[in-house]
Amino acid sequence: MTHGPRFPDLIARLPATVPFVGPEEQERASGHVLRARLGANESVFGPSPKAIAALQAADQEIWKYADPSHFELKTELSKRLGCGHGNIVFGEGIDGCLGYLVRLLVEPGDAVVTSDGAYPTFSYHVNAYGGVLHKVPYRDDAEDIAALFAKAAEVDAKIVYLANPDNPMGSWIDGATIEAALDDLPEGTVLALDEAYIEFAPEGTAPKIDPEDPRVIRFRTFSKAYGMAGARVGYAFGAEPLIKAFDKIRNHFSMNRSAQQAALAALLDDAWLAEVRGRVNSARERIAAIAEANGLTTLPSATNFVAVDCGGDGPHARAVLEGLARHGVFVRMPFVAPQNRCIRISAGTEADLDILAEELPKALAEARETVA
Amino acid sequence: MTHGPRFPDLIARLPATVPFVGPEEQERASGHVLRARLGANESVFGPSPKAIAALQAADQEIWKYADPSHFELKTELSKRLGCGHGNIVFGEGIDGCLGYLVRLLVEPGDAVVTSDGAYPTFSYHVNAYGGVLHKVPYRDDAEDIAALFAKAAEVDAKIVYLANPDNPMGSWIDGATIEAALDDLPEGTVLALDEAYIEFAPEGTAPKIDPEDPRVIRFRTFSKAYGMAGARVGYAFGAEPLIKAFDKIRNHFSMNRSAQQAALAALLDDAWLAEVRGRVNSARERIAAIAEANGLTTLPSATNFVAVDCGGDGPHARAVLEGLARHGVFVRMPFVAPQNRCIRISAGTEADLDILAEELPKALAEARETVA
The complex's ipTM works out to: 0.96
Shared domain for B42 and B115, answered yes or no, is no
CA angle B222, B223, B229 (to 5 degrees): 125
Q: Under an 8 A CB cutoff, do A19 and B52 touch?
A: no
The answer to whether position A176 is within a domain reads: yes
Which pLDDT belongs to residue B4?
A: 79
Name the minimum distance, in Å, from the CA of B140 to any CA of chain A. 30
Residue at which a domain ends, from A233, A268, A303: A268
CATH of the domain at B345: 3.90.1150.10
Q: Kindly state the average pLDDT of the residues A26-36.
A: 92
- Residues from chain B contacting residue A75 (CB–CB below 8 Å): none
Q: Cβ separation of B230 and A65 shorter than 8 Å? A: yes
- Residues paired with B161 in a beta bridge: B192
What count of other Cβ atoms lies within 10 Å of the Cβ of residue A317? Answer: 24
What's the DSSP call for residue B250? S
Q: Do A214 and B96 touch (CB under 8 A)?
A: no
B16 vs A314, more confident: A314
The CA-CA-CA angle for residues B122, A110, A87, to 5°, reads: 60
Nearest CA in chain B to A222: B63
Same domain, A152 and A240: yes
Residues A221 and A205 in one domain: yes
Query: Minimal Cα distance from A95: which residue of B?
Result: B251
Domain assignment present for residue A53? The answer is no
Pick the residue with more confidence: A30 or B173? B173
List the single range of A11-25, A38-52, A183-197 with lowest mean pLDDT.
Answer: A11-25
Q: Is residue A160 part of a domain?
A: yes
Within a domain: A321: yes
- b/e code A17-34 from CB counts within 10 Å (16+ = b): eeebebbbeebeeeeeeb
Q: At A222, phi and psi to the nearest 5?
A: -95, 10
Same domain, A208 and A289: no
A:B CB pairs within 8 Å: 278
- Residues B372 and B360: their CA atoms lie apart, in Å, by 18
Taking 60 as the threshold, does the pLDDT of residue A1 lie above it? no
Q: Is the pLDDT of residue A264 over 60?
A: yes
Q: Reduce the DSSP state of residue B90 to 3 states and report it.
A: strand
**pLDDT band per the 50, 70, 90 thresholds, residue B18:** confident
Q: Give every CB contact of residue A216 below 8 A, 6+ residues apart in sequence.
A: A182, A190, A191, A193, A209, A238
Q: Do B245 and A7 touch (CB under 8 A)?
A: yes
Q: How far does B304 lie from chain A, in Å, by closest CA?
A: 13
Say if residue A172 is in the same domain as residue A229: yes
Residue B12 maps to a domain: no
**pLDDT tens per residue across span B41-94:** 999 999 999 999 999 999 999 999 999 999 999 999 999 999 999 999 999 999
pLDDT tens readout for residues B244-261: 999 999 999 999 999 999
A69, A161: one domain: yes
CATH of the domain at A206: 3.40.640.10
C-beta neighbour count of B295 within 10 angstroms: 9
Q: How far apart are CA B158 and CA B179, in angstroms?
A: 19
For chain A, how many residues are written?
Answer: 372
pLDDT on residue B163: 98
**Higher pLDDT pick, A32 / A276:** A276
Indicate whether B212 pLDDT > 70. Answer: yes
**Chain centroid to CA B229:** 10
The tally of domains found in chain B comes to: 2
**Strands, sheet with A132-136, edge to edge from the N-terminal-most edge strand:** A88-91, A234-238, A216-221, A190-194, A159-163, A111-115, A132-136
Q: In what order do the strands lie in the sheet with A342-346?
A: A297-298, A305-309, A342-346
pLDDT tens readout for residues B299-356: 999 999 999 999 999 999 999 999 999 999 999 999 999 999 999 999 999 999 999 9
Pair A308, A366 in one domain:
yes
Instruction: Find the mean pLDDT for residues B260-285.
Output: 98
pLDDT of residue B20: 76
Least confident of A347-361, B5-19, B41-55: B5-19
Domain boundary among the residues A212, A239, A268 is at: A268
* Same structural domain, A112 and A37: no
Which amino acid, B86?
Answer: G
B275-286, pLDDT tens digit by residue?
999 999 999 999
Interstrand relation of B297-298 and B305-309 (parallel, antiparallel or unpaired): antiparallel
Mutation for testing the B interface, residue in A1, A2, A3, A28 having most B CBs under 10 Å: A3
In a domain, A56, yes or no: no
Mutate to test the interface with B, among A56, A248, A346 (most CBs of B within 10 A): A248
> How high is the pLDDT of residue B21?
85
CB A61 within 8 A of CB B230: yes
> Would residue B10 count as lying in a domain?
no
Whether residue A17 is found in the same domain as residue A92: no
Question: Are A27 and A70 contained in the same domain?
Answer: no
CB A65 within 8 A of CB B40: yes
Tell whether A215 and A322 lie within a shared domain.
no
- Evaluate whether residue A57 is within a structural domain: no
The residues in B 31-90 lying below 8 A from A, measured between CB atoms, are 37, 40, 42-47, 51-52, 55-56, 58-69, 71
In chain A, positions 246-265, which contact chain B (CB-CB < 8 Å)? 247-249, 251-259, 262
Report pLDDT for B16.
83
Please write the tens of the pLDDT for every residue from A196-209. 999 999 999 999 99
Please tell me the predicted confidence (pLDDT) of residue B177: 98
Residue A187 pLDDT exceeds 80: yes
By residue range, what is the domain housing residue A350? 9-46+271-371
Give the residue from B207, B238, B268 where a domain finishes.
B268
Q: Does residue B321 share a domain with residue B210?
A: no
Confidence of residue A21 (pLDDT cuts 50, 70, 90): confident
Count CB-CB contacts under 10 A for residue B183. Answer: 8
Distance CA A186, CA A113 (A): 12
Cα gap A207→A254, rounded to integer Å: 30
Q: How far apart are CA B350 and CA B264, in angstroms?
A: 29
Per-residue H/E/C for chain A: CCCCCCCCHHHHHCCCCCCCCCHHHHHHHHCCCCCEECCCCCCCCCCCHHHHHHHHHHHCCCCCCCCCCCHHHHHHHHHHHCCCHHHEEEECHHHHHHHHHHHHHCCCCCEEEEECCCCHHHHHHHHHCCCEEEEECCECCECCHHHHHHHHHHHCCCEEEEECCCCCCCCCCCHHHHHHHHHHCCCCCEEEEECCCHHHCCCCCCCCCCCCCCCEEEEEECCCCCCCHHHCCEEEEECHHHHHHHHHCCCCCCCCHHHHHHHHHHHHCHHHHHHHHHHHHHHHHHHHHHHHHCCCEECCCCCCEEEEECCCCHHHHHHHHHHHHHCCEECECCCCCCHHHEEEEECCCHHHHHHHHHHHHHHHHHHHHHHC
pLDDT of residue B32: 86
Q: How far is CA A312 from CA A316, A364, A370, B176, B253, in A?
A: 6, 11, 13, 65, 32
Where do the DSSP E strands lie in chain B?
36-37, 88-91, 111-115, 132-136, 159-163, 190-194, 216-221, 234-238, 297-298, 305-309, 329-330, 342-346
